[in-house]
Chain A
């Protein structure tokens, strides 16, 4: 096979390492980096196996402590007790913070975590710091994730007795493309090469496809499943149509709601007027909040199996909480979260154009799947009497990632267990700013990948020689509600009355989810672009991108605007 002598990774490739290692035989491992727990799995030749750490755990807490000179994570280090995680030295919940700017409400809600999350509210990366010897030592979400990944990698290398390079990572469906680049960045820092980033419910869908492939072979009929995955940080829903080992994602929906929200709502319920305490950076307050957090978490866990629980905790600052909480209270204070979950399911079914009676299986996985209210709300929204039983709720996503790792590494199985394929769909719409401050989607949400779509725009002003293409991702009608992915300028538009030049914007997403934006100008009387077409790989923005849109607006106003060409209705 003729290979080019060398290839140069594009500068905008995030993981700036060598890409085309033609000698390639290892099986990629699957990693599920959860907001609170992580796990690693690999295809061992006949089935998926979860790897255990030295303490024989399959699930490892996702945190990194900066106690000593060398930071250590939850894979290797052993905690004396739970409170140690909450002393200010440990950083966790990074999946909620990675790739977010300090104007993001999710970042603000993370301020109650027992370490420093400092925001300036101007659209830059928040400052995150751990308390080491009474000094706030700054770090970044990418660094924390990378430290953790290094530990996971080392653990897997010991278990598998081979170097690990390629990984398949699961990610929340609601992650923006910018957040994905941050995850890739963290992997690169850890010396890992990302083979695939899989939205968590699609990994579960792949596992489901494998479980069903043996039962109904190629001729078998199609089965539609709804997958609901809720962990500590995120809630995702997918609708998948499965037949013969092919899992076709019909729709995806996701939101940054999860167990963490349930926990915080409950903390506020147990200790009203605690806002100042929760966001305080005083050492004593951090300890108190840590104690409250542990107690609340235990209470929520207990409420999954019993209807009421006694909370008895001394916060050490003179405040004592002694209270009986029942399940009804818990469900009431979290009503908003549960409503949001239900709306995600409804939206996903709607996008997939599937009725509840067409759904053959409803799969609920993730840490929150143990909460009775979650189970009942999913069942009632899907109008089902029972849930799919064939999966371990905590291991489903990582197992799916391991399967994808094996498939993407080119492995095959004599029994056809790896005769699998996931046909992915886009979780968020992608488009550009046009018609004032509006977001005009070009590739709608839940479009089958790979996808390529285009749309024609035109100039907003007479004799407009330049136009800004600002690319966003999300669901909001206004650009501010969406994630900025990048921007570039089309120059040299021939002078003409407004509405005459055609600016054609093409979005192309390949199966690895790489997005490219092409834009060129066509003038009446010619079918050749006036100038060379611009082709930009997105996202191009870096940290602090919250600034960009505003800065662009300040510099150019509406002078470089675009409008959509009127379309047939």
Chain B
């Protein structure tokens, strides 16, 4: 079975050296010998479990890794971190837990420090509180761990039939003021109820969207709400097509970020033309590899600037 998860007395090239240095290195497998500690612990925790855990941990962001919502406070993160450590720490799970624990430690370190967390949030496009602060209570919160997709009601299309609220009353809420429904709590009901409620919408205005998109959509659908103005749709303050608006919004923030990074890199160090070329080449190569899926798990998981991590 998953013996291959560990290389025994055998070298495999550390991926670190196939990695361009704009990326952190924490998720790289590294060769190692079998350590005496593991046989004992293997009795407790099967290798398979650890292997699966490793596989599924790839391609997750820090919040997903810790199984907490993006607006979790330090207390919650700490608790989640401890619970996961209890399961996957190499003392418990054996050597297979090594990579996973490395990542847990990194995730914990970043999320526990406010400045690092802000930086990280920006890098993964999570907008913790930033956009919704002006209109608290209008965005959905999460029940249970973060999942890849969330529900979004296109309030432009909603006709206010209340079907969804009827079928899944913990998930949806009807906004009497606006005359349309919206999501109050993601996964507030069981999956069957949610499915029925989505199907029940006569105008199909309930959408499954990627959870990365959700904050943007929820932000845009309610942008510039004014008291006593506009009932639903049509108002100039709300984009007619929220999905298109989200796309351009993302593009814009991406460009901003990109611009910031390139500015940063010019000041952070002086590099020779040769070094600059090496960097550019390597990063292009890596992007290609990422596309081919070979290393995608690393990049999805971690795409923070290399130098950022070194700051202590």
Contacts and interface: CB of A to CB of B under 8 A. Distances in A.
A241 B46 CA distance: 29
A444 interface: yes
A510 B35 contact: yes
12 contacts: A4-B3, A19-B36, A241-B78, A450-B98, A499-B272, A500-B274, A506-B16, A511-B98, A520-B14, A527-B20, A568-B264, A568-B267
B177 interface: no
B52 interface: no
Interface string A506-525: 10101110101010101111
B274 A516 contact: no
Contacts of B1: 1-2
Contacts of B277: 524-525
Given A452-B30, A516-B32, A24 B39 contact: yes
Given A408-B91, A422-B91, A2 B35 contact: no
A22 B82 CA distance: 29
Contact of A567 (B43, B101, B269): B269
A244 B17 contact: no
B44 A412 contact: yes
B210 interface: no
Contact of A528 (B18, B89, B101, B268): B18
A546 to B, nearest CB: 28
A54 interface: no
A529 B17 contact: yes
Given A4-B8, A516-B32, A527-B20, A423 B40 contact: no
Interface in A235-277: 241, 243-246, 248
B86 A526 contact: no
Contacts of B18: 527-528
A374 interface: no
A7 B274 contact: no
Interface string B68-102: 00000001001100110110011110010110011
Contacts of B312: 444
B9 A419 contact: no
A520 B36 contact: no
A2 B39 contact: no
B290 interface: no
A218 interface: yes
A24 B86 contact: no
A210 interface: no
A527 B82 contact: no
Interface string B28-58: 1011111111111111101100000000000
Interface in A1-44: 1-4, 7-10, 13, 15, 19-22, 24, 28
Contacts of B38: 20
Contacts of A218: 79, 83
A531 to B, nearest CB: 10
Nearest to A220: B79
Interface in A542-569: 565-568
A407 B75 CA distance: 26
A410 interface: yes
Interface of A: 1-4, 7-10, 13, 15, 19-22, 24, 28, 166, 193-196, 218-219, 221-222, 241, 243-246, 248, 407-410, 412, 419, 421-423, 444, 448, 450-452, 454-456, 499-500, 502, 504, 506, 508, 510-512, 514, 516, 518, 520, 522-529, 532-533, 535, 537, 565-568
A423 B82 CA distance: 9
B44 A410 contact: yes
**Majority DSSP secondary structure for residues of A touching B:** loop
A508 B30 contact: yes
B26 interface: yes
Contacts of B245: none
Nearest to A28: B40
Contact of A419 (B31, B86, B270, B282): B86
Contacts of A526: 278, 281-282
B39 A20 contact: yes
Nearest to B82: A246
Contact of A19 (B34, B85, B91, B97): B34
Contacts of A241: 78
B9 A454 contact: no
Contact of A527 (B33, B269, B281): B281
Contacts of A499: 272
Contacts of A246: 82, 85-86
Contacts of B109: 448
B91 A421 contact: yes
B142 to A, nearest CB: 19
A27 B36 CA distance: 15
A298 to B, nearest CB: 43
B8 to A, nearest CB: 6
Interface of B: 1, 3, 8-9, 11, 13-14, 16-21, 25-26, 28, 30-44, 46-47, 75, 78-79, 82-83, 85-86, 89-92, 95, 97-98, 101-102, 105, 108-109, 264, 267-270, 272, 274-275, 277-278, 281-282, 285-286, 307, 310-312
A248 B98 contact: no
Contacts of B286: 527
Nearest to A19: B36
Given A1-B46, A421-B85, A527-B19, A511 B274 contact: no
Given A1-B42, A409-B40, A451-B102, A243 B82 contact: yes
B3, B11, B91, B98 interface centre (most CB from chain A within 10 Å): B91
Closest 4 CB pairs of A and B: A524-B278, A511-B90, A568-B268, A527-B282
A410 B89 contact: no
A222 B27 CA distance: 29
A254 B44 CA distance: 34
A452 B309 CA distance: 12
B310 A567 contact: yes
B37 A196 contact: yes
B16 to A, nearest CB: 5
Nearest to A21: B39
Given A20-B36, A410-B40, A525-B278, A518 B16 contact: yes
A354 to B, nearest CB: 13
Nearest to B286: A527
Contacts of B35: 19, 510, 512, 514
A9 B42 CA distance: 19
B82 A244 contact: yes
Contact of A504 (B16, B42, B47): B16
Contacts of B3: 2-4
Given A1-B47, A510-B90, A408 B41 contact: yes
Contact of B91 (A456, A511, A527): A511
B86 A568 contact: no
A28 B40 CA distance: 10
A504 B17 contact: yes
Contacts of B285: 527
A195 B268 contact: no
A543 B15 CA distance: 34
A477 B211 CA distance: 47
A24 B39 CA distance: 8
Contacts of A9: 33
A183 to B, nearest CB: 15
B38 to A, nearest CB: 8
A510, A518, A520 interface centre (most CB from chain B within 10 Å): A510
B40, B47, B281, B282 interface centre (most CB from chain A within 10 Å): B40
Given A19-B34, A407-B91, A500-B275, A567 B17 contact: no
Contact of A566 (B19, B28, B92, B270): B270
A518 B40 contact: no
A261 B282 CA distance: 56
B20 A421 contact: no
